[in-house]
Structure 1
């Protein structure tokens, strides 16, 4: 092993200490004065949503459009990662992609998101009567939008092209600071304050976005276990659930992408397919099919309007800007993870898988779960909505299961899927944090395990302080997304430039 490779395998203790220390500091501050921390985060959230919201909306839309143009142009044939054929089969590859973003919140929002929009029509579609069949289409379309094409495009299309070129073709570390390599050159890797800041803010954003779903999982599974088996939904139960999840995630992260992470993802996608088919057969089958087709058409028809809607600022802050901040915060680490699993793929395959196939699969999942909820709410007003409004997102899932034949079996299935889903996010994100700290795509095993356990411990600590602190940390990812979004911006012009350069090297286009 040469000296340069040895250097990259060394832990970046400055980044490690600052990012880990800030997480610990957040917990301590929440213990000392929860209200003050909450107020600071809310004020920062409002500021970020107000001054970065429009920029994020344009950024994600343009990122999606440029990705499509590259995919369906001659540059789509460019192969990334210096391999002639892909390392992973199509199913394994797409399973790994799906289980990262969808797991981080799709489990919780699939039931709640469509129902919220069904009970209160989004402002863009004011005039459509709430709670009616006509309202079902914009309700589903709005959920598709928040978990759709632009959301996925921000997580691993243009940014992945830049990273894969810098890492696999040029030999630079697999770190968030590498996004800036085309702009700043090699100096971004040499004791660069800007480079360290890019790495630190990306780790903190990822930690906030991962710990939030882990905490919510403790609440959701705790609620589910009480509803199905009568096990008291106490802090002890929630803590045991999170510790169990953290242990699974650590084992998976320790065994690496090829074994644990890939195995968990494949199991999870298989279980989700079984659960979806069961719900489709046992639930309102034709209603779900009709709703999916009609809502997909409504989504495509209103895609541009939803992308650039700027009228109701309060609603945007609670919904679109919140989600965009969340996904942007995840952006660097997701791009790193997708870079790691996509060697040998063409630009066309990458864009189609991440920006088109993954969103459509998400839409089907949302329609089966959320569409079932809409159907039962229309049949019996309050059947799902009352539970959602009184007890939150976990109650909505259980309320839907109560309406379906064999609902107890499906509820248990949903609990299992929820745990594995969030475990796949925790293991893949702990892996990418470890990659950031070491600069190599085979980071130290102890570092991977440390971060998986750290996510779990912080989630338990926040739940012990109060359930609302989990939401506070979740909102904090939107604050960290402001600098992260500036980190992603250069990919809009760097990715096409890199695609053109590689196309010449691979003789896809003639050299001028």
Structure 2
């Protein structure tokens, strides 16, 4: 095989991706301390140089998507179908469960409590652990999991990909985001393979991390609840169980396993949300949600573009932005696969407006309940947080509620199925990109699902520094992906213009064919 034919093959992306993670794992297992040191240095430099750029990118992406949605272009339909095949409930369920993932359960309890105990820079004038700090703690959390985060994951990128795939005949993969600039030149070009590889590595790092950290969190939970030692063996066992769940789901296909898993997740999340609202501080939750959301909106410009402490931004906002940006191209592929027949306005409002508001209320319920108990009984939540870190907050909060014997296991199961949904959907998206077929085979999907689990297991075996290095690596991989995402600020308007021209031509053609002959 010649070099030219090699770089033109669909196998190049798989070869580069597998080769990269093999080298990553080899380096991590050979000398984890030295490897972590290098990764952390690169992490700090990446955040320092690209963090401010990511702030502007997130704002630009959201505002442009919103402008397109409310413009006449928002009425245009994406894809080839006039009506969607998937019901609105299932469509929203799959989007919510995949994007919210296990982080939505873990961080929804932990982050507001952390910001309540230690005020973020944007609200540094407020005293921590006082009732006045509640809305600012929740508002900061709303910002990290709000409009900007959701918008970058599935608005402009999805619009570009669906047009390039359905109307221009390109394969559904990250390089198609550059179609408005390069046409079909990258379809069989080595640079297109590199673009796809960076995107896969970014989303794989962002998916493997939660899978591995879930094993650690559940290990802690099992130890605190049942007294079983949180050993590496227990964590590996939990990890294999999680991987088995989403691998089976990936094997059965999007129209079976993933839709069923997403539906059960939403039903379970709503049921547990209602339980927390009834058993917890109901009035406090609703009052603080309104107050915090108002604080979020009022302080939106300062939160979005404020020049705060670089150290704090690196650990929080820039880390989250890097994580979400790294997910964006592959997440857009997943949403594109399930959004045929939806209008642009429907897509943008569902992903960038409705989903964030629902997420914010979820954060108010879990995080607000934790803050309420910390206000009422100082040390009840902050004590476990200081002893065992962020994973302890959810368990500590649930143990303050009635029926904790039911709620704690139920939330742990929900966290597991949320992470499993993300593993399933991202394995599917990776399989789509690396497969020569538009619909990857079940064995191809299974391979990537299990690969994500194997990498997480090896990093767990490498020690705590392994997963820590991967968490820092998420931000590093976001650097090249952010340049791809930034191109959508140019490519999306070009795509919209092409869609409007094509729509006018089709309308004129239909009108001409409908005119009776004289």
Please give the range of the TM-score, normalised by the shorter of the 2 chains.
Answer: over 0.9
Of 69, 91, 101 in structure 2, the residue corresponding to residue 71 of structure 1 is 69
Residue from 311, 330, 342 that aligns with 2:308: 311
TM-score of the pair, normalised by structure 1: 0.95
2:102–2:416 contact (8 Å) kept in structure 1: no
Which deviates further from its counterpart, 385-394 or 295-304? 385-394
Q: Distance between the aligned counterparts of 2:302 and 2:331, measured in 1?
A: 27
Gapped runs of 5+ residues in structure 1?
1-6
Aligned residue number for residue 294 of structure 1: 291
Aligned to 2:109: 111
Deviation at 1:478, TM superposition (A): 0.7
Q: Distance in 1 between matches of 2:399 and 2:214?
A: 20
Query: Which of 451, 475, 478 lines up with 1:478 in the alignment?
Result: 475
Distance 1:315 1:509, change over 3 A: farther
Partner of 1:487: 484
Q: Which runs of 4+ in 1 moved over 6 A?
A: 508-511
Residue of structure 2 aligned with 1:133, choices 115, 128, 131: 131
**1:54-97 residue CA offsets vs partner (Å, 9 max, x unmatched):** 11100110100011111111111010011101121111011111
**CA separation of 1:79 and 1:240: change in aligned 2, threshold 3 A:** same
User: Partner of 2:183: helix, strand, or coil?
Assistant: helix
Q: Which residue of structure 2 aligns with residue 463 of structure 1?
A: 460
Partner SS state of residue 81, structure 1: coil
Deviates more, 1:470-479 or 1:341-350: 470-479
The within-5 A match list for 1:206-355 is 206-355=203-352
Equivalent pair of 1:155/1:332 in contact (CA under 8 Å) = yes
Distance 1:394 1:316 in 2: 21
Measured in 1, the distance between the counterparts of 2:59 and 2:280 equals 35
Work out the CA distance in 1 between the residues paired with 2:30 and 2:229. Answer: 29
The yes-or-no answer on 1:36 pairing with 2:38 is no
Paired with 2:292 and 2:436, the residues of 1 have a C-alpha distance of 43
Secondary structure in structure 2 of the residue aligned to 1:188: coil
1:351-373 CA distances to partner (integer Å, 9 max, x unpaired)? 00110111111111111111100
**Residue pairs, 1:371-390, within 5 angstroms:** 371-390=368-387
State the TM-score, normalized to the length of structure 2: 0.94
Contact 2:180 2:495 (C-alpha < 8 Å) held by counterparts: no
Structure number, greater radius of gyration: 2
State whether structure 2 residue 180 is matched by structure 1 residue 182: yes
1:440 Cα offset (Å): 4.1
**Conserved 8 A contact 1:104-1:209:** no
What is the SS of the residue equivalent to 1:330? helix
**Inter-partner Cα distance in structure 1 for 2:107 and 2:274:** 19
Query: Are the equivalent residues in 2 in contact too, given 1:104–1:210 (CA < 8 A)?
Result: no
8 A Cα contact 1:212 1:470, kept in partner = yes
Measured after TM superposition, the shift of residue 139 of structure 1 is: 0.4
Which residue of the partner structure matches residue 450 of structure 1? Answer: 447
1:505 is the counterpart of 2:517: no
Q: Residues 44 and 401 (structure 1 numbering): CA distance in 2 closer, same or farther, change over 3 Å?
A: same
The answer on whether the counterparts of 2:102 and 2:415 sit within 8 Å (CA) in structure 1 is no
- Alignment match, 2:81: 83
Q: Is the 8 A contact 1:377 1:383 kept in 2?
A: yes
Shift in Å, 1:228? 2.5
Q: Secondary structure at the match of 1:189?
A: coil
Map of 2:191 onto structure 1? 194
Q: Matched residues in 1 for 2:183 and 2:29: separation?
A: 43
2:505 and 2:300 mapped to 1: Cα distance? 33
The answer to whether the 8 Å contact 1:79/1:347 transfers is yes
> Contact 1:174/1:440 (CA < 8 Å) preserved in 2?
no
Deviation at 1:150, TM superposition (A): 0.3
Residue matched to 2:152: 154
CA displacement 1:178-226 (0-9 Å, x = unmatched): 1111111111112x22211111111111111011000111011112222
| Alignment partners' CA distance in 2, 1:206 and 1:406 | 37
Report the Cα offset of residue 164 of structure 1.
0.2
Give the secondary structure class of the aligned counterpart of 1:128. coil
Hey, what's the Cα distance between the residues in 1 that align with 2:125 and 2:436? 53
Residue 187 of structure 1 aligns to a residue whose secondary structure is: coil
* Corresponding residue SS for 2:153: coil
CA contact (8 A) 1:220 1:393 kept: no
Query: Which residue in 1 is equivalent to 2:60?
Result: 62
Q: 1:232 to 1:508 in 2, by over 3 A?
A: farther
CA contact (8 A) 2:55 2:305 kept: yes
Q: Which residue is 2:511 aligned to?
A: none
Number of residue equivalences: 502
Note if contact 2:209-2:470 (Cα within 8 Å) is conserved in structure 1: yes
| CA distance in 2 between partners of 1:28 and 1:500 (Å) | 47
Structure 2 residues without counterparts, runs of 5 or longer: 509-518
The reply to whether residue 437 of structure 1 matches residue 434 of structure 2 is yes
RMSD across aligned positions (CA): 1.6
In the alignment, the residues of structure 1 paired with residue 222 and residue 34 of structure 2 have an alpha-carbon distance, to the nearest angstrom, of: 34
Give the whole-Å Cα distance in 2 for the aligned partners of 1:150 and 1:508.
Answer: 34
Partner residue, 1:4: none
Contact 1:74–1:508 (CA under 8 A) maintained in structure 2? no
* Aligned mates of 1:160, 1:125 — CA distance in 2: 35
- Matching of residue 362 in structure 1 with residue 359 in structure 2: yes
- Give the match's secondary structure for 2:84: coil
Q: Distance in 1 between matches of 2:76 and 2:353?
A: 19
